[in-house]
Amino acid sequence: QVQLVQSGGGSVQAGGSLRLSCSQSGWMENRNCMAWFRQVPGKEREGVAAISPQARSVYYADSVKGRFTISQDFDRNTIYLQLNSLKPEDSGMYFCAAGQFICAGLWRSASNYASWGQGTQVTVSS
């Protein structure tokens, strides 16, 4: 069973930056897709970015392209999400997720992921 532990997040003003971290523990066969989702009250979780560790491919939602960067550190079993040029609409609870599938074409669907982090709040004020 893979366990994901998140850190980072917080409150910033518009235009600011934050970094989120997601550390993995346990063993997971074929860790093919790692992703970040965000959720606001009353809405479904939205895929923000994903990374395929083996293929080193990355994917982004159109709303964050050019502002957010997903990356990985194999030695630390950790993925990161760097959030730059933050906007108030980026506010929400951010979750990392891990799934045993190929990211391409499937990463946006939250139901595909077997493991989730505990969530961390990001609040961007105008």
Confidence of residue 44 (pLDDT cuts 50, 70, 90): very high
- Residues 87 and 60: their CA atoms lie apart, in Å, by 16
For residue range 22-32, what is the model confidence (pLDDT) as tens digits? 998 865 555 67
What would the pLDDT profile of 90-113 be if each residue is shown by its tens digit? 999 999 999 988 899 999 999 999
Q: 77-116 burial by CB neighbour count: b if 16+ within 10 A, else e?
A: bbbbbebeebeeebbbbbbbbbbebebeebbbebebbebb
Confidence of residue 56 (pLDDT cuts 50, 70, 90): confident
Q: What angle do CA 56, 23, 26 make, to 5 degrees?
A: 95
Instruction: For 17-51, give one letter per residue: b (16+ CB within 10 A) or e.
Output: ebebbbbbeeebeebbbbbbbbeeeeeebbbbbbb
Beta-carbon count within 10 A of 59 CB: 20
